[in-house]
Amino acid sequence: GDHGLGITSLGIGSVEVIKGPSSLLYGADALGGVIYYVDEKYAAQNKTEFGFSTQNESNTLGTSNQVWFKKSGNNIRFNLAASLSDHADYRLPDNRFAANSRFRDNSIKSSFGWNRKKGVLNIRYTYNTTNVGIPGHTHDAVIEESKLKVANQSREQRLPYQDFQNHYLSIDNKWFVKKGEVQMLLGQTLNRLSEFEEKVTIPGIKMDLYNSLYHLKYKRNINEKLSYIGGVQGMYQMNLNDIKATEVLLPKSTMMDNGAYFIGYYNLKFWHLQAGVRYDQRIVNTDESYKGNDPFNQTYDGINFSLGAVRNKSKYTYRANISSGYRAPHLSELLANGFHHGTLRYEIGNLNLKSENATQIDLTFERHGDHLELIVNPFYNYVQNFTFINPIDSLIDGLPVFVYDQLADVQLYGIDLGFHFHPHFAHWLHVEANYSFLESHSERQISLMPQNRILSGLRFDLKDVSIFKSNKLVFDYNYFFKQDRVSEMETESPFYQLLNIGINTSIGEKERFDLSFGCKNLLNTEFIDHLSRLKNIGLESPGRNIYFKLTYQFSN
């Protein structure tokens, strides 16, 4: 969280949410599940693809552009993509602008694949650089609204701002062996955060975060019904500070993770069973004393288990998972002690934090029909040593102080509901809705609980008109409930509702143009999401935004 997310849509083909036993493949920190970003596919064998997209938005006078090239031969495959985004300060519903909310983002991504008779090799590299202004930056005890909201919009870089640079390299090698496969994944990442406050030549914060990762796994199919996956996985993380920086948020420190897991699969005619176990160890170490604390060295370890069952029939799917979770505290939670302007707060870590341990029950019922799909997903999660960041009644140089805290146990429970109605008498109509409800129970209320919400949409498939094909008209209506379940020093958030509208069309087939035009926040609603990092200073989210997007794709 201190180093920026560093993820863009460039080169991402899809996003998956993984719960249950399969989440054991991705590390110990998955207390409730995993968000898994899937890389875009290569072109089909002996195909060449080229494309570009551009999107322009009225609210920020912003532009987001991507271009990509794909080529695949018999055994060699190659993808190359680049993106550039540039946005000015965003417009508020009252037609003023959020001062210094401008940002720029540039990325390049390359993928190389080599298919062999007994294996597959993939090498991927991504470079991303982001420059973001820091709205609401002040050290005044009382924040003046005139410094947050201004009459004129600008995109010129000015102090204070943050600059992020991210490098991602991964080498993924897979060998096919008798009745199975062996896979080795090696990764190296570098994140460089520079924060400039008073001068562009002297950084306030400058941190380098290195991650070296490995993952070795073996998958074997014993027979048609029984298979298993076993593996080892780990990471070495190092956080360094530049001596030129005037402030230090985290000390020089290292973190080493190592884990081993085993997951078994058993498939019957209608039933699919999974069971898994995982052991992990984390070692956190600082090489220096820091703001009155002695050098820190601590080892954490834990065991996870998971059991899941799925029953599939022609129109119905039933899922049941019970799993444990283990998460050791990370560097920020333990060691932070300084201004974190990206979150507009002063953060203080807690060296006495213990590892979190959770037990989750997750049930799902799905009904699949030609005209109606229904999903019901209740869940219950019991977490011991629940870690959260909590505001306290204190200010340091105008910023609220947040401390990392723990509760002995917290119960998190809720339900996700979703349906998609596509009536046979009106094949041109699609009605979709999702309801998310989350509640907690503990000795005292935890902070930063998301608002419950209803996300709904209407889609009309319109007739083809001349060269315009696949025409669609879309309305989205989103309702966010009031959030009054807040911690002692946290403010409540009122309900709000958003209305979006869009129209999509396509021209051509082999050479295809996709056009999208629409408006987000059509009613120019004034709102602040409960989890917004600008909530501390009372800065609203963007107002009405009209957008236009053009995408061109060619394949040969």
Give me the DSSP letters along 173-191.
EEEEETTEEEEEEEEEEEE
Does 397 have pLDDT greater than 80?
no
Q: Which of 447, 522, 518 is nearest to 489 (CA)?
A: 447
Instruction: Tell me the sheet residues that pair with 187.
Output: 170, 213
Q: Which of 193, 213, 215, 191 is nearest to 205 (CA)?
A: 193
- The answer to whether residues 345 and 139 touch, using CB atoms and an 8 Å cutoff, is no
pTM: 0.89
Q: Collapse the DSSP code of 233 into the 3-class scheme (helix H, G, I; strand E, B; otherwise coil) and give the result.
A: strand
Express as a percent the part of the chain with pLDDT over 70: 98
Cis peptide before 160 (omega within 30 of 0): yes
Express as a percent the part of the chain with pLDDT over 90: 65
pLDDT at 2: 60
Tens of pLDDT, residue by residue over 244-260, are 888 888 889 999 999 99
Average pLDDT over residues 393-407: 86
Looking at every residue in the chain, the average pLDDT score rounds to 91
Average pLDDT over residues 414-431: 92
CA 43 to chain centre: 26
Average pLDDT over residues 502-524: 94
Residues sharing a CB contact under 8 Å with residue 544, sequence separation 6 or more, in sequence order: 58, 59, 91, 93, 519, 520, 521, 522, 523, 524
- The answer to whether residues 101 and 72 touch, using CB atoms and an 8 Å cutoff, is no
Question: In this structure, what is the dihedral angle of CA atoms 514, 515, 520, 523, given to the nearest 10 degrees?
Answer: -140
CB neighbourhood size of 23 (10 A): 26
Give me the DSSP letters along 479-523.
EE--B----TTPPPB--EEEEEEEEEEEE-SSEEEEEEEEEESTT
> One-letter amino acid identity for 421?
F
Poorest-pLDDT segment among 1-10, 11-20, 61-70, 455-464: 1-10
* CA dist., res. 170 & res. 85, Å (int): 25
